[in-house]
Amino acid sequence: MLHPDLQLYTLYPLSALRRVAFLLIASWIAACAPAFDPDARLDVDVPTRAQVANVPLIRQADFYCGPASIAMVMQWAGADIDQEDVAWLAFSPGARGTYLADMIGSSRRLGQLAVEISTFDQLLSEIDAGHPVIVFQNLGLGIAPVWHYGVVTGYDFGRDEVYLNSGQLEQMVLPFATFERTWRRGDYWGLVVLPPDDLPVSVPEPDILSAGAALERVGQLAAAETLYETGAARWPYSWIWQFGLANARYGQGDLRGARTALRQAQRIDPSVPEIRNNLAQVNHELAG
Amino acid sequence: MGFLNLTKKGVALALSAQLVLATQAVTLAEAQMVGTDAAISKYTAMANRSVLMDELQRSEVREQIIELGVDPAEAEQRLAALSDEEISTILTQMENDSAGADIVGTLFTVFIILLVTDLLCFTRIFNFTRCIR
């Protein structure tokens, strides 16, 4: 069983012996598990196979599966960053692991859009859209957990395979049923980490907005600005993107840019007092 | 008399102007920017609800609902009885179910109808719906 209250996750380096043991267990589980039936399990239409290209394989330092996963996803997006840089912001040495919240927080402090997902539908939709997804797994059993973060980069229903960049130099390939078990024991926790001009496809608008507000909170105002601009292009009838855009610009001292965004917000919905308030404030500062 | 009328009008005008300014001042009392966070938590729940309510007004949806023997006004009341939390769960589930088809379209219509029938105990699609008889 899962330990939902257990917040701390570590990966012990898989020694050769452990790996053999794990593979034995994995193949045993796979042997007696019913095959993963995409028709029964999925509510979305996804192709029978999809692969995100060019996600680098990084060999994790001891206990660094979390930071290594984030580094892989950020390098894939073109950032110049390594697992040490991420570990500095995310890793808890005393716990010899990385907390879920620190996975999200460190991604945001590095200027990335980070949004959680929790279903197979979302996972496969993101892969199909070309977005790698960080997943939280228990590679062991409920009674003897081996917590681990990996990056799902592809899947193939026909071959019954899920592909992960999993902290080793070779790709990890798991049958769907085995992956499903390891992910279920991690409570289906997944994290989409993207540059702010690329939006997740399987996540509702308010969640992406909140991720933008979080970028503002951690002082990543330029990233927040980009995210709000991208959101405004995708949801042009939603004033709140312009509102956030104005705040991100205001925070960077761009009063005129803030005014432009607030006026746009007001055109979309003239009735919102918060827009009036902020526009008055910006106008006041521009006049003074 | 005319003079007095004018004064009355003036006083009324001044008073109402003051009232308007006072109300404005309340909104503006913060004299600082309202954060994005605050706006999100105040408005996204409301927007979610209005998306569903708008959908109930569409003629295809209304026709279907009436065909099922449901009074559209009753359907609206049932929807209004859901909490913000439940509404957002519904929308998350809906966006997941219809990923790729986008929010608008047949899927959404079907979704709304199922939601209404759920609330009326005809169907049992969503875990959280309380069916009320």
Listing DSSP states for B16-38 in one string gives HHHHHHHHHHHHHTT-SPPPHHH
Based on the fold, state whether residues B74 and B117 are members of the same structural domain: no
* DSSP label at residue B102: -
B95 and B116, same domain (yes or no): no
pLDDT of residue B97: 57
Inter-chain touch B95–A202, beta carbons under 8 Å: yes
Please report whether residue B14 resides in a domain: no
Name the residue among B27, B39, B97 with its Cβ closest to that of A243.
B39
Please check whether residues B116 and B90 belong to one and the same domain. Answer: no
Query: Does residue B107 belong to any structural domain of this protein?
Result: yes
Residues B82 and B129 placed together within one structural domain of the fold: no
Asked whether residue B124 is assigned to any structural domain, the reply reads: yes
In this predicted structure, what is the pLDDT of residue A9?
44
By CA distance, what is B44's nearest residue in A? A206
Task: Tell me if chain B has a CB within 8 Å of the CB of A122.
Answer: yes
- CB of A288 within 8 Å of any CB in chain B? no
pLDDT at residue A69 tops 60: yes
Q: Does residue B93 lie in a domain region?
A: yes
pLDDT in tens, A79-134: 999 999 999 999 988 888 899 989 999 999 999 999 999 999 999 999 999 999 99
pLDDT, mean of residues A218-236: 97
Q: B54 and B92, same structural domain?
A: yes
Same domain as B74, residue B41: yes
As averages over each run of 10 residues, the pLDDT of chain B (133 residues) reads 52 54 47 88 76 76 78 77 72 59 53 73 65 56
Chain B contact present for A266, CB below 8 A? no
Could you tell me if residue B58 is inside a domain?
yes
Query: What was the pLDDT predicted at B86?
Result: 72
Please tell me the distance in Å from B98's CA to the nearest CA on chain A: 7
Residue B80 is assigned to a structural domain of this protein: yes
pLDDT tier at A219 (50, 70, 90 boundaries)? Answer: very high
CB A163 within 8 Å of CB A151: no
Domain-embedded: residue B4: no
Q: Which domain holds residue B80?
A: 35-99
Q: Which residue type is seen at A283?
A: N
Same domain? For B83 and B131 the reply is no
Instruction: Flag if B38 and A250 touch (Cβ within 8 Å).
Output: no
Residues counted in chain B: 133
Q: Is B102 on the interface with A (CB under 8 A)?
A: no
Angle between helical axes of B106-119 and B36-57 (0-180°, round to 10) = 90
Identify the pLDDT of residue A128: 97
Asked if residue B94 and residue B49 are part of one domain, the reply reads: yes
Query: Which pLDDT belongs to residue A235?
Result: 95
Q: From CA A30, how far away is CA B17, in angstroms rounded?
A: 76
Residues B81 and B128 in one domain: no
Statement: residue A272 has pLDDT above 70: yes
Mean pLDDT of A151-170: 95
What pLDDT does residue B65 have? 76
- The conformation of residue A95, written as its DSSP 8-state character, comes to G
Say whether both B69 and B43 belong to one domain: yes
Q: Which residues on neighbouring strands pair with residue A91, listed in sequence order?
A: A98
Q: pLDDT (tens digit, 9 = 90+) per residue, A8-67?
A: 344 444 455 555 555 544 444 444 445 677 777 787 788 999 999 999 999 999 999 999
Question: Quick check: A81 and A74 in contact, CB under 8 A?
Answer: yes
Half-sphere exposure of A63 (CA within 13 A, CB side): 14
State ipTM.
0.73
Residue that is written with structure tokens 């007696």 in the block: A32
Total domain count for chain B? 2
Task: Give the pLDDT band (50/70/90) at residue A172.
Answer: very high
- 3-state percent helix, strand, coil for chain B, nearest multiple of 5: 70, 0, 30
Residue B115 forms part of a structural domain: yes
What is the distance between the alpha carbons of residues A124 and B17, in angstroms, rounded to a whole number? Answer: 58
* B64 lies in the same domain as B118: no
- Assess whether B77 and B120 both reside in one domain: no
Residue B12's pLDDT is 59
pLDDT digits (tens, 9 = 90+) for A127-139: 999 999 999 999 8
* Mean pLDDT, residues A256-271: 97
